Amino acid sequence: MSLFGFGKKKENTTSCSCGCTCGGKGSETAATGEGNILVLGSGCSSCHQLYEHVKVAAEHLGCAGQVEYVTDMERVMSYGVMRMPALVIRGTVVSSGKVLKTEEAEELLRRYG
């Protein structure tokens, strides 16, 4: 969080592979501005690692366009996450404080997605 927005990190989203106008957030969540699959982090290497593992897992399951990397601390705090990185699927925090392996992320995506 920054006081006047200086140095505020931008959120990265992947582009949607289906060509729709959702901006990579999935057509059913485009109206709310929330992605189906969120990786919450501060921008550190562990957070980037989780993001990469989740992207690969999502590609295996055919939902790669729905992965969003969130670094905005206000948005991260809105999920009540105390340890990062965290994985949020459809609004539910399913993992926090751990860099999941690709296989673990894939299992969570199957279970909660």
Give the pLDDT band (50/70/90) at residue 106: very high
- Work out the percent of the chain whose per-residue pLDDT is above 90: 60
How far is Cα 85 from Cα 102, in angstroms, rounded to an integer? 14
Residue 104 scores a pLDDT above 60: yes
Q: Nearest 5 degrees, angle CA 11-CA 50-CA 27?
A: 50
Computed over every residue of the chain, the mean pLDDT equals 78
| Cα gap 63→3, rounded to integer Å | 36
**87-96: which pairs have CB atoms within 8 A and are 24 or more residues apart?**
87/37, 87/38, 87/39, 87/40, 87/50, 87/54, 88/37, 88/38, 88/39, 88/40, 89/36, 89/37, 89/38, 89/113, 90/36, 91/34
pLDDT for the residue numbered 113? 75
Q: Over the stretch 47-86, which tens digit does the pLDDT of each residue have?
A: 999 999 999 999 999 887 789 999 999 999 999 999 999 9
pTM of the model: 0.69
